Structures are given as structure tokens and as C-alpha cells.
Amino acid sequence: MSFNSSNLRCYNCKFWWPLPEPGQHERPEKSARGSCRRHAPPGLLTDEEHPAPRYAAWVIVSRDDWCGEHVHLEM
């Protein structure tokens, strides 16, 4: 079995969730960026020293990124 890392990109990973680009509503899978949902976002808490509300968010990645934990889409 050969290893071809050029096929291991976020856009074809089952954990990648495409984010719509402005004016692009019909084909979000062609988006240049998306969120990686491989791991849950860390919870961010407020405290007395930093009272501003903060929130947890998924990591935003480019469609051509690769983290090393790629899982191919089931086609």
C-alpha cells in the first residue's frame, strides 16, 4: 500500500465542516476554509480577573491543511 499525503487534506476529512464564503450559498463544500471538529473545543471560563464573556469555538482551518489525524470521508 502506498502513502500519498497529497490526498490527505482537510476538505476530504470527515471532521471538516465547510464554512460558507460571502456570496457562496449553493456549494459550501467548495469553501476555502472550514472548522475542524476532530476534538471538542476547549471550554473557556470567565473569572474575576477577566470578566469579559468568552466562548468555546471550533478551530478554523484552510481546506488544504492537514493535521496528521486525517480520516477519509466515506464515499
pTM of whole model > 0.85? no
Mean pLDDT of the chain: 78
Give one word for 23, left, alpha or beta, with left for phi > 0 and alpha for psi -120 to 50: left
Inter-residue contact 10 to 34 (CB < 8 Å): yes
Phi-psi sector, 50: left (phi>0), alpha (psi -120 to 50), beta: beta
Domain locations along the chain: 1-22+32-67
The reported pLDDT for the residue numbered 3 is: 53
In one letter, which amino acid is 60? I
Whether residue 38 is predicted with pLDDT greater than 80 in this model: the reply is yes
Looking at residue 1, its pLDDT comes to 41
pLDDT digits (tens, 9 = 90+) for 12-27: 899 999 988 777 666 6
pLDDT at site 26: 64
